[in-house]
Each structure stands twice: as C-alpha cells, then as structure tokens.
Chain A
C-alpha cells in the first residue's frame, strides 16, 4: 500500500495525464461490453433502451433464453460454417501470398519501390470501394473476369450467384486488400535475417527452395504468428464485404456471424439475441486463441 502511495506521489502527473484516455476507454469500450453482456440475458425493446438511464438495465430478464434461441438457430450454425469456409480460403492464401511477394520484392531490381507501392495500395482503399470494384469485376455478364474467360472459349459462371463460388470471391477480395500490408510485415522480417545465413547455406549447396524452407520460414515464424492472429481477427469480423457484395446470399451461403449479428440487431431489432450471438462469437474466439497459443507454444518448445 505504501509503495502504491509513493508511486502515485512520484508519478502523480503521469497518471493524471492518463486519466482522460482511461475514462474514454471505460466509457466507450468497457461500459458497452458490460452493458451488452447484461442485455444478452434480457428481452429488450428499442424504446426501453432510449428511456433507460446510464446505469439502468433495459428490458425483461429472460435468463439463458436468448442463448438457447441462438444455439437452436440453424442459420447461426450455418453462419459459423460459412465463416470457417471463408477462413480456410482466406488465412492460408493470405499468409502464403504475403510471404512469397515479400521474398520477391526483397530482391533488388528496377522498379521494386513501384511494386511495393502498387501492392500496398489496396490496403488503403475502403472496403466498400473494394467490394464495388470486385462486384464489377465478377459480374457474370459485363465483368472483366468472364470477359477474359471468354477469350479462352470458357463461359464464366455467375460468381456471386453461386452458392459455392460467392464466398471464395469475397475471400479473394479480402486477400487482395490485405496482402500488401502483410507483405510489408514479412519484408521487415526478411530484412532482419543476416545475409551470412544465406551465404553459408549456398556454400553448403542448398537450393533456393531449401534456403526458403530452412531459413526464411523458421526465422519468420514469429511474424507469421502475429499475422495469423490479425487474420483471425479479420475472419471473425468479416461484415462489410458480405453486406455490399452478396447481402448474405445466395441461399444464405455468405452469411457470416457478424453479418447475422448485424441483421439480428438492426433489421429485426432483437437486441438480446444479437448480444447473445456476440458473446457466443466471443467464446468461440477465446477457444480458437487458446488452441492457437497452445499450438504455438508447443511448436516453440519442440524447436
């Protein structure tokens, strides 16, 4: 206690400066988290939210009813499957492409900076704009992709109207947007690998693939873990792309969990079940992160 008081005395001004940021955090982060957790056990009408004071709990307590409803909802289960389908395409491809592009632009050649810039640009384009670009590209009648396929006498499919193809198109767009950013992260890692390692490997007769496999991949594993976590976050929050490109269709094949939460809260005004869905998603995220941490630790300890 004494040490705490002495710390406060010696760093008092510092804590004072932190206070506004802390208050904003509490108000806009922690308070809504706790509030929505409480709402997940209630049946709440919009007017009850409007009339509730800052510390009031709106609606009627229904215990675990909202959670039970969500778990019985076929579309919620389907949306988890859709999200997993998206993740299976999105995460490995983004990781592989980012790494390969980083290795490629790590070399010195004319116009390398131009390539780096071009590859990074999609990351700064808004999701809505990117989605609209891809909608035009993959349009079955007037799209560029089908026009190219036509040159090879192939009748392109209706990409976004096909239950199995719509999600991959969304994933391709998401990869295109992010690959430049993660490529730069890998590039930073690559530039930290001592060139002597490559030279020694070359003297030992290692092929370029072997140098990539035994030097680059292991030494970038920490960055890979960070990127994996960031990609996982993107998977669990994929919403705007779906909203703009497919609206969840066709046949609910692109309904993701965040999209469903959005619909539940803002289209059907069922705040309780929407909050329950959010917390189930949160629990799934926690489980995935625990597994990923265990896997990573195991991998590191066996090295």
Chain B
C-alpha cells in the first residue's frame, strides 16, 4: 500500500513540474527574484481586494425612495455603486420630520449618511448627535457659496455638507403681466406694489400672493421683505441671541408685509400650498416659490407662460430665502463606515452627480421629468442642463443673496409661538406693525432667555 502511495505522489510531482514548464510564458521564466516578490505582493493585494467585501452604507433621504424624487436620486446612487467596488450604498426612505430624525439618531441602528434640512441640521447638531465636519469647511468653501456653509454651522461647528436645495424667487404669470400691460418682471418691492395695483385694476387677478397663516410659510415669505428694508427678526449681541425687529427698519418691513397681505384676499388663512394653488388657478399673478413653482405649472399643462426672476430688492438690498439640504453623518459613526460615508458624500457633491439631480423627477401623468431642487455648487451654470434650461439658473444665482429664515435653534420656538402669531394678526389687520414689533421683541426675548437658560 505504501508503495502505491509513493508512486502516486511521485507521479503527481512530475505532472506538476511538467505543467509548470509547459504553461509558463517566456518572460515569466526570466523573472528576477525581486520581480517575483513584487508580483507576488501585487497578486496578494489583488486577491485581498477581490476577497474584501465592499463597505455597505445606507443613505437616508427625506423623500420616499419610490417617489419621483427618490427614483431620481436612486439613479445617482446606482451610478456611484457602478463606479467603484469599495462602497455599496443603499437608498432608504426617510423623513424631514426632526422628531423622527432625532429618534432615529438616538437609536443604535442609524443610517450612515442622512439628508437633512437646514433647521434639522443645526438643531440636531447642537444636541451633539451629528459628526462635526469642520475639517472640510475650506474645501466646501471652494465649491459652494460661503454663506451656504453658514446654514449648517452652529456655535462654530459644521454639522452638514451642502448638497442640493432651493432658493425662493419671484415666480410670475407672464400672460397676466402682459394683459396688465407690464412688459417685464418687477425688480423692487415698490415695483411689486405698483404692479399689484395695476394687475388688480386691469385683470381678474390680484398681484402678489403671500401666506399669513400661523405656519412656517409666513416666516420665510416675510423675512426677505423685512431684511430688504433693513430689519431683522433676530441678532447676536455680546454672544447672546436677542430679538431685533423693533427698529424703524423692522417696522417698515412689517408694514410692507402687511400691505402685500392686505391686497391678497384671505391672506391670513393661506399657507404656501394655498398660494401655489391660487397662482396655478390664475387668481394671483405673482408668488414666492422654489423651482417647483415653475414645474408645477408645466405639470399642469402650461395654462400660462410662467417665469421666475430674482427676489425683488429693497432699500437695504436683496435677500433670498434658501432651503439647502445637507448631508450629515451620525456622531457615533467611526472607522470604515465613516470613510465610506465621506467617499459617498464627496461623490454626491461632484459636478456629475449634482447635474444628475437636474434631470428631475418623473411624473407619470405627463410622462415627463421635472426638476424639483437645484444643485448647490456655484459652478453649475455651464453644465448641459442649465445651458438648455436657463430659466432655472435664477435659483442658483439666488444663492449669492441667500439668507436663513430660521437662523438658530432658539429662533424656532420664537417663530412658532410668537412671530407666526403676530404675522397672522398683521395679515388679518388685527394688529399694527408697531404693536407686532413690540410683542415679538418682548415675548421673543423671554423665550430666548428661557431657551438658553440665561
């Protein structure tokens, strides 16, 4: 038996030697020892890479992954997954609701990259639940408008990387303007007022639709007007947040808000959605909206020609409300997953991925694609989509004048409990700008003191 085993082993060795001699290429035979060692290392590395599973991470967006928006983002994610083997991203449905985001971040099973709105990023970041991205601030400043970075900073720490978003501009019904004999869009608030009066006289519509309901919409619609008259709701004095609306400039801003609201029937009961509906139904000729304000008209069969122009300017300049979305990483994320999250975030901020967003969401009713947000990069003007659809450039241009209507976590409570109430009263004519400014200042400061425990 031993003999048979020995013969078999010898035969196998001989076969192996033959095989080695016959199958080898001439160059390989001449390999030096050093080359052999290098090649062996490379081979091991390759084998290691092949053997190593890609790092799997999840990307939570604020929309449903099955929605048109979700599907658009899915194509971006798919392109990323196909472009490399190190990281695999799966897209998951999330929420813009800060309550749900906090609950998710407090749990141990949290997505690695999370899309966040402005308010959430600062509020949740201030609670210590998000990774600080301060090291990347300079890089982001090269790509994005510096003002935009400030949106995601609180107390010196950066909690989000800019991605996509919107600015709010003046969207107008070109047909109604022409019917009223107006050849171009208004550029100042005085012109908006003048246009509104002409439109009301010469057409069945009214001029500017503005929200006055006790709702967030009233804040972002009023803040650009107030700031363009030199007023502001909140300021930081000696490192402390204080209310700053009760000034002649602030009161003038509130006056203008009230004047516009008084020209729009039922303004006190309207929110942003109602205003949009009235614009679509040609009850009003102008509104403040993001890119969706334009595509909403397209989606509904183009009942009129819609245009978008920069937010009108006031004596103190032009101010545009912005709603950028950040990409954030949970504070607890470490190691491979953290690196993978950064790699993916870099990809999303790249021009290719940014432009893919402009392809927009698919609408099955019209069998077409509609943009819903714009890229946040400042160098997108020459990209293909904007060359073909320059009407959307105004939403990127607006980033130059962008303001954050909900600038601090403490402001959120003041906005909810005091400012929206007073704006509602202004819209219904139940109070005067002077009285509103006084109440906002007094009650707002009380809330801020309590909020920060001063």
Contact = CB atoms under 8 A, between A and B. Distances in A.
B215 interface: yes
B384 interface: no
Contact of B412 (A69, A247, A267): A267
A268 B106 contact: no
A267 B415 CA distance: 12
Interface stretch (A42-50, A86-94, A144-152, A222-230): A42-50
A127 to B, nearest CB: 17
Interface of A: 43, 45-50, 62, 65, 69, 72-75, 140, 158, 161, 247-252, 263, 266-270, 273
A292 to B, nearest CB: 32
Interface stretch (B35-43, B123-131, B222-230): B123-131
Interface in B101-157: 102, 105-106, 123-124, 127-129
B436 interface: no
A72 B450 contact: yes
B420 interface: yes
Contacts of A50: 105-106, 129, 332
Contacts of A268: 409, 412-413, 451
Contact of B102 (A43, A161, A252, A266): A266
Nearest to B270: A161
A252 B421 contact: yes
Nearest to A78: B417
A247 B451 contact: no
A267 B413 contact: yes
B252 interface: no
B425 interface: yes
Given A47-B129, A47-B331, A65 B99 contact: no
25 contacts: A43-B453, A46-B124, A46-B128, A47-B129, A47-B331, A48-B128, A50-B106, A65-B453, A69-B450, A72-B446, A73-B450, A74-B443, A158-B266, A248-B214, A249-B214, A249-B424, A250-B421, A251-B421, A267-B99, A267-B412, A267-B413, A268-B409, A268-B413, A268-B451, A269-B102
A198 B383 CA distance: 87
Given A251-B425, A270-B451, A46 B129 contact: yes
Contact of B127 (A248, A249, A267, A269): A269
B269 interface: yes
A185 to B, nearest CB: 35
A73 B214 CA distance: 20
Contacts of B124: 46
B416 interface: yes
Interface string B414-454: 00110011001100000000000000000100100011010
Nearest to B216: A247
Interface in B16-53: none
B427 to A, nearest CB: 10
B417 A75 contact: yes
Contacts of B409: 268-269
Nearest to A74: B443
Given A250-B213, A251-B424, 7 more contacts: A43-B453, A50-B106, A74-B446, A247-B215, A251-B214, A252-B417, A263-B416
Contacts of B129: 46-47, 50
Contact of A267 (B98, B421, B446): B98
Interface string B252-272: 000000000000001011000
Most buried by A among B105, B215, B331, B453: B453
Nearest to A49: B106
A249 B213 contact: yes
Contacts of B412: 267-268
A117 B124 CA distance: 47
